[in-house]
Amino acid sequence: MAIGGLIAGLFGSLLGLGGGVLIIPMLTLVFGIPMKEAVGTSLICVIATSSGAASLYVKKHMADIRLGMTLELATTIGAIVGGLVAGIIKPEVLAILFSLLLAYIAFSMTRKRAEKNLEADSSNPEDYQVNNLPLGMGASFFAGNISGLLGVGGGVIKVPTMYLLMGVPLKVAAATSNFMIGVTATAGAFVYFARGEVDLLVSGSTMIGVFLGALIGSRMLHLIKTEYMKRAFIIVLLYLSLEMLLKGLNLGFLF
């Protein structure tokens, strides 16, 4: 499990994902852990990757703490609601929703727009105005919901919201999203914790793997051509999405 966590952390940080996207399929499909426990465990792991990475971003003054804090008002409530809802719906439904999320992420990775924009992003990170705050709050609530419900960070929603709707430069949006994820995941994690759905040994070993993986990944980032890895990863995501769907429908494994 620690090794699985290591791999999830490594690839997650190389591809700019929180790791939850990989942790949940690993725990449920490979180790046969119940869906809700996997979500609880994943939330804890997401806190670990977010705190580790955010400490660097924050010190480099890339994250907008004031904006992050404001949006956290909405995202924490969203995460708690999401966690509570997860408690009452069937694990099969969660698995199907997760499968849809994976497919969506795979799809959004095929459009390379965001990455190109990151390179072309010449706007001054010190000088921008935040627009559409109410809309951003709404989207943050929704991102928190997804996070609490499915055990991911919710950056997939937060980053485009800040960048496209609120006029925040992409680098700042990515760093601020990462900064917020720690608090979002904590809010959700306590709900699972309260239901006794966070297993000590499972989360301890996965978490240390994810943390070390993210640590190594963030240092390897400049050494590796992520383009090929990204294509391979899209296929992996689609495969996992399919397996999670079959799991949700109780149809067993495809391969």
Partner 1 sequence: MNNKKDKIDVWVGNVLLVGSYAAAVLLLAGLFALLLSDQTSTARLQSKPLSFSGFFSHLKDRSPLTLLNLGILVMMLTPLLRVITAGLSFFLEKDYKYLLIASGVLIILLANIISILI
Counting Cβ atoms within 10 Å, is residue 222 exposed (0-12), middle (13-18) or buried (19+)? exposed
Cβ-based neighbours of 251, under 8 Å, separated by 6 or more: none
DSSP secondary structure string, 30-86? Answer: IS---HHHHHHHHHHHHHHHHHHHHHHHHHTT-S-HHHHHHHHHHHHHHHHHHHHHH
Which listed range, 11-19, 67-75, 106-114, 127-135, lies at the site for partner 1 (CB under 8 A)? 67-75
Residues in the chain: 255
Smallest distance from partner 1 to CB 64, Å: 10
Return the number of the residue (146 or 240) whose C-beta is nearest partner 1.
Answer: 146
Binds partner 1 (CB under 8 A): choice among 146, 185, 237, 240: 185
CB 127 within 8 A of CB 65: no
Does residue number 189 form part of the binding site for partner 1 (CB under 8 A)?
Answer: yes
Does residue number 130 form part of the binding site for partner 1 (CB under 8 A)?
Answer: no
Binds partner 1 (CB under 8 A): choice among 69, 135, 235, 254: 69
Return the number of the residue (63 or 106) whose C-beta is nearest partner 1.
Answer: 63
E strand or H helix that includes residue 215: helix 200-220
Binds partner 1 (CB under 8 A): choice among 122, 127, 129, 196: 196
Total interface residues for partner 1 by CB under 8 A: 47
Q: Which two tokens stand for residue 221?
A: 């980032």
Does residue number 85 form part of the binding site for partner 1 (CB under 8 A)?
Answer: no
Which residue do the tokens 């809802």 mark? 85
| Geometric angle at alpha carbon 54, from 224 and 216, rounded to 5° | 35
Does residue number 143 form part of the binding site for partner 1 (CB under 8 A)?
Answer: no
CB 105 within 8 A of CB 237: yes
Binds partner 1 (CB under 8 A): choice among 182, 213, 217, 248: 182
Does residue number 168 form part of the binding site for partner 1 (CB under 8 A)?
Answer: no
Residues forming contacts to partner 1 in the complex (CB under 8 A) are 2, 44, 47-48, 50-52, 54-56, 58-59, 61, 63, 65-66, 69-70, 72-73, 76-77, 80, 126, 182-183, 185-187, 189-191, 193-194, 196-201, 203-205, 207-208, 211-212
